[in-house]
Amino acid sequence: MGVGPQAHRQEPTLDDPLSQPPPPEASVPPGGSVPPASDPAVGDPAVGDTAAGDPPQGESRSGEAPGLRDQIGATRGAGQRLIGAHVELAKAEFGDIADAAKRTGGLAGIALGAGIVAGLLVTIGLPLFLGEAIFGSMGWGILLGVLFLIAVALAAIIAALRPGITASIGRPFLIAAVVGAVVGVVLGLNLTNRGWSALAEVVVPSIDPAIRPLVVAVVGLGLLGAILGLIAGAMMGGGGPAIGGLVGGAVLGIVLGLLTGFAPGRRVGAAIGVAAGLITWSALLAAGIARGGFDMDALKDRFWPARTIEATKETIEWARERMPLSRRS
């Protein structure tokens, strides 16, 4: 009765699906579309980027504190990395030190070589210079330098064999100095040449005056030396020594005749005098070494630890006297 269309409208119920309100629409960004929820690349941390889901070092994936083994492993790794860094630093530093040492050693070698060469130049050049400046020839510098070094070597041998004895070196040096001075003065003033010239004018006046003193000196001293050598060899006994003395005396006389027969002048005469002095010194030193007379006991004491041995023996005896086993025995 009087029932309109509203009377037939039914209220919606929960069981009616048509009565459910529509789901809210997802917010769509401007100009884009929402990917489906099942896309693993968006919004699913379990399937997406794994690096973002890894736990920090030292923590487990469950967020728990690392265990003792993990801590030991992490500490060992850090220690190895620290040691490796120090080793690399040490290698680099030692490499720099080695380079610096090589450079320093090279420069030191250059300096040492330069010093050695300078010493050789002085040692060799000084006798040559003195020979040229004083005696008029570098040959005299070489000869006198060699003779001087031989004499120094012999003196050093005697000083080593006879410690504290200077007479064995000083006395021969004084004798040699006197001989050298006499020879230098006589030859430098041409005294021997003047004497042979005067004798030659009387003996062989027909020979050229330029060579007359030299001929007389060589022949006269050669014969005199041969005679003296023959007599000395015969006194030693046998024909062999006599012949040897004859030849040796003749050679020595000829050499003396050549040295005394010509007029050397002051410079050459002085050089011959120095050479004669050095030869005399070396000959006397060599004779002293050959003659011997060295105190072998004193020489042995210098290279034998006698005091140490005696002190050690006394200590051993002192220890034996105070040992219990020694007392019992």
Buried b (16+ CB within 10 A) or exposed e, 302-311: eeeeeeeeee
Q: What is the DSSP string of 5-70?
A: GGGGPPPP-TT-GGGSPPPPPPPPPTT--PPPTT-TTSS-TTTS-HHHHSPPTTS-TTSPPP-HHH
Please tell me the distance from the alpha carbon of residue 329 to that of residue 322, in angstroms, as a whole number. 12
The dihedral built from the CA positions of residue 182, 188, 191 and 193, taken in this order, carries a sign that is positive
Please tell me the distance from the alpha carbon of residue 59 to that of residue 77, in angstroms, as a whole number. 16
What value does the mean pLDDT take over residues 20-26? 49
Please tell me the distance from the alpha carbon of residue 33 to that of residue 25, in angstroms, as a whole number. 12
DSSP state of 48: S
Please tell me the distance from the alpha carbon of residue 175 to that of residue 159, in angstroms, as a whole number. 18
pLDDT digits (tens, 9 = 90+) for 157-206: 888 877 656 667 888 999 999 999 999 999 889 898 888 888 888 888 88
Strand segments, DSSP code E, in the chain are none
Residues with Cβ within 8 Å of residue 218, at least 6 apart in sequence: 253, 254, 257, 258, 261
pLDDT digits (tens, 9 = 90+) for 57-104: 445 455 567 777 777 888 888 888 888 888 888 888 888 899 889 999
What value does the mean pLDDT take over residues 116-139? 89
pLDDT digits (tens, 9 = 90+) for 265-323: 889 999 999 999 999 999 998 888 777 666 677 667 777 787 888 888 888 888 888 77
83: tokens are 């040691």
